[in-house]
Amino acid sequence: MVPASAQYGKHSATAKLDVHFQNDDGGRTTIRVFFKKAAKNELPSRSAAHWKRDIASYHTEATFYARLASTLEARGVSLIRPLAVFQSDAAGNCTPNLLAKGVNDLACQALCPDPVNFMVLLECLGPAPSTLPSIPEQKSLVNYEAADCLDFVDTQQALRYLANLHASAWGFQALNGIKGIEHLPEPCWWTLSKRGEEELVHALEIWPQMLKTWDKVFETESNLPSKAELKSLGDRMIQEAAYINTCLTVQADAPVSSTLVHGDFKSANLFFDSQSRTVVAFDWQWSGVGLGAMDVATLLNTSVSISVFSTDSDESELKLLQFYYNHLNERLQALDPSIDLKTSYSFRAFERHYMLATLEYARVLLSNFWNHMTPSSCAAKSSHVNCGLGYRSIPHVVRMVRKLHINLRRVKTERLLSPSFS
């Protein structure tokens, strides 16, 4: 194991490993790999409901690397290449390497039908001796680096990556061409269907508490509505939550805008080339089939510097949405000229989905992450890069409160005009 490389978190243990091989000529070859292990009996305890949700997500990531990654790479999506994938059940039944040639998927499923432990070996970022066979299209990962609180250029590069990812699996026909896609669940960890009604009702306690502790901050913000208007924010979210979630659920009979969604597309799960700033994403445990707008909402609401957004309007945000949409259209045209995005999925429809996805994500802030959060405790978390900026940056909290108020008002009007939803 590479010294000081081991990390232990809620969802996995990770490390960098130097693997040594003895060559036929007596020499020795060393390769460096990234090791990720999610084993139920080695992770922190949690409720049965949380275990069910989290183990499903570990299974999703194993499935992604074992079955989907090679197809996406062939379609031009930059990935950290998987080298081996294993999974085992509580009784110790372990699959062979799911990436090995000749592995029978049905036999592996019969051997280990209910896996609870997962291990993935990936190519390793950073300089290291390597004799691994290279993929011609795969750029070297030596110069990639992490970034936080993304500036305008990095935000655009991340949106380019999303446009390419979503175009590679756009619509029913493209999705059907990806082996293993049928095994992926609904994407994103923050949807109402994954988090549940029990968490949602906490907004009734959390929001009044936050109004008190953030009173002075909110009073100084001229772009926020009055305190009287803000008072009902928790109640309004509870009233609209089911409608928002339903609108974001991809219907089997309407797959035009469905695609492969990363599910947790925040800066902590991205690496940027130190020179070109091109992006590669990792941590696919919340991936699934859904609306690409959900990834765009995750990125813009968790990871982008407040300086990128204009102070008193949504103009700069709309420009970023248009940037993504234009690049999605360009990439789709390159892959399949018969696709007319502007007719089948207009910018207006995409922007609406983005607005709804922003509310869906903000619901988790309102019912969970803002619990007992004060301005000082928020600022104290500023360096916690794995957390969204919406609960570790005061300006971003203010922005999310404003987005909640405006978008909930918009949703209420829409819902009242929609006779099909009760």
pLDDT band with cut points at 50, 70 and 90 for residue 102 = confident
Q: Is the pLDDT of residue 322 over 60?
A: yes
262 and 396 inside one domain:
yes
Please report whether residue 126 resides in a domain: yes
Q: Residue 139: what pLDDT?
A: 47
268 and 316 inside one domain:
yes
134 and 184 inside one domain:
no
| Mean predicted confidence (pLDDT) in 16-43 | 85
What are 186-229's pLDDT values in tens digits?
A: 899 999 999 999 999 999 999 999 999 999 999 998 889 888 88
Residue range of the domain that includes 167: 160-417
Q: Which of 250, 331, 332, 252 shows the shortest CA–CA distance to 291? A: 250
Q: Residue 109: what pLDDT?
A: 86
354 and 221 inside one domain:
yes
Q: Is the pLDDT of residue 16 over 50?
A: yes
Is 58 in a helix, a strand, or coil?
Answer: helix
Q: Is the pLDDT of residue 268 over 80?
A: yes
111 and 194 inside one domain:
no
CA distance 143 to 345: 37
Per-chain mean pLDDT for the chain: 89
311 and 221 inside one domain:
yes
Q: Residue 135: what pLDDT?
A: 41
165 and 133 inside one domain:
no
129 and 175 inside one domain:
no
Q: Residue 5: what pLDDT?
A: 85
Contact 316, 308 (CB under 8 A): yes
Give the CA-trace dihedral at 272, 274, 276, 281, to 10 degrees.
Answer: -10
Q: Residue 136: what pLDDT?
A: 41
pLDDT band with cut points at 50, 70 and 90 for residue 125 = confident
Question: Phi and psi for 33 in degrees, rounded to 5?
Answer: -130, 160
Q: Which of 270, 304, 80, 266 shows the shortest CA–CA distance to 189? A: 266
| Mean predicted confidence (pLDDT) in 140-161 | 90
Please report whether residue 290 resides in a domain: yes
Please report whether residue 1 resides in a domain: no
Q: Residue 422: what pLDDT?
A: 40
**Strand ranges (DSSP E) for 61-215?**
82-88, 117-123, 144-145
Please report whether residue 150 resides in a domain: no
Instruction: Give the CATH number for residue 334.
Output: 3.90.1200
190 and 326 inside one domain:
yes
138 and 205 inside one domain:
no
Please report whether residue 151 resides in a domain: no
Contact 170, 339 (CB under 8 A): yes
> Where among 142, 175, 198 does a domain terminate?
142
Share above pLDDT 90 across residues of the chain, in percent, rounded to a whole number:
67
Q: Is the pLDDT of residue 398 over 60?
A: yes
Please report whether residue 354 resides in a domain: yes
Q: How many CB atoms lie within 10 A of CB 299?
A: 24
| Mean predicted confidence (pLDDT) in 320-332 | 97
Please report whether residue 153 resides in a domain: no
Contact 290, 248 (CB under 8 A): yes
246 and 371 inside one domain:
yes
Query: What's the number of domains the chain is made of?
Result: 2
| Mean predicted confidence (pLDDT) in 162-185 | 81
| Mean predicted confidence (pLDDT) in 156-176 | 89
Q: Which residue has the higher pLDDT, 419 or 404?
A: 404
Task: Note the Cα 229 to chain centre separation in Å.
Answer: 32
Residues listed for the chain:
422
**Strand ranges (DSSP E) for 23-113?**
28-39, 82-88
Is 90 in a helix, a strand, or coil?
Answer: coil
Q: Residue 138: what pLDDT?
A: 40
What are 343-373's pLDDT values in tens digits?
A: 999 999 999 999 999 999 999 999 999 999 9
pLDDT band with cut points at 50, 70 and 90 for residue 31 = confident
Q: Is the pLDDT of residue 82 over 90?
A: yes
What is Dmax (Cα atoms) for the chain? 79
Is 149 in a helix, a strand, or coil?
Answer: coil
- 161-175, 240-254, 282-296: segment of lowest average pLDDT: 240-254
CA distance 359 to 364: 9
pLDDT band with cut points at 50, 70 and 90 for residue 253 = very low
288 and 220 inside one domain:
yes
CA distance 231 to 210: 10
> Where among 75, 108, 142 does a domain terminate?
142
Contact 289, 150 (CB under 8 A): no
Please report whether residue 35 resides in a domain: yes
Q: Residue 101: what pLDDT?
A: 87
Q: At what angle do helices 347-364 and 315-335 cross, to 10 degrees?
A: 120
C-alpha to C-alpha distances, 168 to 174, 205, 291, 339, 344, nearest whole angstrom: 7, 43, 13, 13, 17
Q: Which residue has the higher pLDDT, 360 or 43?
A: 360
| Mean predicted confidence (pLDDT) in 395-404 | 96
pLDDT band with cut points at 50, 70 and 90 for residue 295 = very high
